[in-house]
């Protein structure tokens, strides 16, 4: 598995987050991510950053894992920063052609990049500390009231988990294509960044073909195990909220209240 991908991988450690009920983690992280989208002041960003760093330390997952995992989104972060820095109206400090670098743009670029980093790190905690099947069971429990409206909750939860689980698989297949081209004397990683972006475009067709093959094999595997629509399936481990879940929920509510007040 590609170690440079954060979302979609599970790491076994003896932390409080591994012992939490998956429903607690899903609800807490979703509420925190929504509150992070509303961050505006420097104080709120600082508190959110301290809170996320504390979560990373308490998860007992090595910090270098998160550092490596942020590399694939480096280009996205750079593009976000450049877009806001160059196309936000305000006090111009440098200009060239249609590009106008402004003070307000630089501040917006830093703010949005900062926010994306917090959201990615927060989302990675959910998948790094929760097994895929446990995550699916938690989603089914949370969405179970929708079954009264004939919503296929089990299929929806399975679809979400498979999509998350396929993220590192896609990166793994991309690495295989890059290694195959390198074996033929064409090293994409040695190209400059602006040429490397266009060099990845021809890889999309074989990558898409491989992903479709993987999805088809997964479909056959699900059918062979008689999964069906997933209704009425039982779980080996019953979910039950513990005191730790209520404590974490209370802490999350307090953090969200502080961020909203700021």
Say what the pLDDT of residue 55 is. Answer: 92
- Residue 90 makes CB contacts below 8 A (sequence gap 6+) with 102, 103, 104, 105
Say what the pLDDT of residue 73 is. Answer: 82
Using DSSP's 3-state secondary structure scheme, residue 27 falls into: helix
- H helices of the chain, in order, are 16-19, 22-36, 42-58, 63-69, 74-87, 103-128, 132-143, 153-183, 193-199, 204-224, 243-261
Q: What residues does 99 pair with on adjacent strands?
A: 96
Each domain of the chain, given as residue ranges in start order, spans 16-261
CA torsion sign, 111 to 112 to 114 to 115? positive
Q: Which residues of the chain have pLDDT under 50?
A: 1-2
154-168 pLDDT, tens digit each: 888 888 888 887 888
Q: What residues does 100 pair with on adjacent strands?
A: 95
The mean of the pLDDT values for the chain is 84
């Amino acid at each position: 598995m590609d170690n440079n991908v954060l979302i979609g991988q599970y790491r076994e450690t003896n932390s409080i987050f591994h012992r939490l009920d998956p429903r607690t983690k899903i609800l807490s992280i979703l509420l925190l991510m929504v509150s992070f989208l509303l961050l505006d002041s420097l104080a709120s960003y600082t508190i959110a950053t301290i809170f996320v760093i504390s979560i990373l330390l308490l998860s007992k997952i090595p910090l270098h894992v998160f550092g490596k995992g942020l590399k694939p989104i480096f280009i996205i972060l750079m593009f976000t920063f450049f877009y806001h820095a160059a196309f936000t109206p305000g006090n111009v400090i440098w200009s060239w052609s249609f590009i106008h670098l402004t003070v307000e743009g630089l501040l917006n670029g830093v703010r949005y990049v900062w926010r994306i980093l917090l959201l990615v790190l927060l989302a990675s905690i959910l998948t790094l500390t929760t097994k895929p099947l446990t995550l699916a069971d938690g989603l089914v429990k949370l969405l179970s009231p929708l079954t009264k409206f004939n919503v296929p909750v089990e299929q929806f939860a399975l679809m979400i988990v498979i999509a998350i689980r396929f993220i590192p698989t896609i990166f793994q297949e991309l690495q295989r294509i890059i290694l195959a081209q390198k074996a033929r004397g064409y090293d994409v990683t040695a190209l400059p960044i602006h040429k490397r972006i266009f060099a990845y475009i021809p890889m999309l067709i074989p990558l898409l073909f491989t992903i479709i093959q993987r999805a088809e094999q997964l479909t056959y595997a699900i059918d062979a195990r008689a999964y069906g629509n997933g209704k009425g399936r039982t779980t080996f481990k019953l979910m039950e909220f513990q005191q730790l879940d209520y404590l974490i929920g209370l802490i999350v509510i307090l953090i969200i209240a502080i961020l909203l007040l700021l």
